[in-house]
Amino acid sequence: MISTFSFAQVNCKIEYYSGEDGLAHSSVTAVVKDQDGFMWLGTWNGLNRFDGKNFKTYKPTLKGNSYLESKRIVQILDGENNLLWIKTYDKQIYWFDKKTEEFASLSTIIEERYKKKIPFNKILKVSKDYVRLGSVER
């Protein structure tokens, strides 16, 4: 029995981006494409949105309620209602509202309700409307 395989040559273009191009940090630890076509990159120095040409960096500010304790982002999930779910290096969960461009700490809400800080290890999208947060805590 003789079989032959034929492979098509794949054409691709690789581009490199750095801080000089607007990327917040060279260590990119999370990437997701949202429903609007933007690429969101989690770095060790905040959140970046990439439109195919330009980067925009989002960091919490002291004005208003925008809050992000750790700028080291390790997971991003595109959610409903213009929200990104974000897990940081310190195992805490945040929302980022793409319309208001503000962070909100879900971990703080959970901590206030259960009277303890819970370390999360994963964000899982179960369906269009549901997300599960994984933790080793009870």
Q: Are 123 and 87 in contact (CB under 8 A)?
A: yes
pTM check: above 0.85: no
The DSSP letter of residue 77 is E
Residues forming beta bridges with residue 102, ordered by sequence position: 97
pLDDT the model gives residue 61: 65
As a whole number of angstroms, the distance between CA 135 and CA 109 comes to 16
Identify the bridge partners of residue 93 per DSSP, sorted by sequence position: 87
Q: Is 22 left (phi over 0), alpha (psi -120 to 50) or beta?
A: left
**What are the mean pLDDT values of the chain's consecutive 10-residue runs (138 residues total)?**
66 86 92 95 95 89 70 93 94 93 89 90 87 82
Q: What is the pLDDT of residue 44?
A: 93
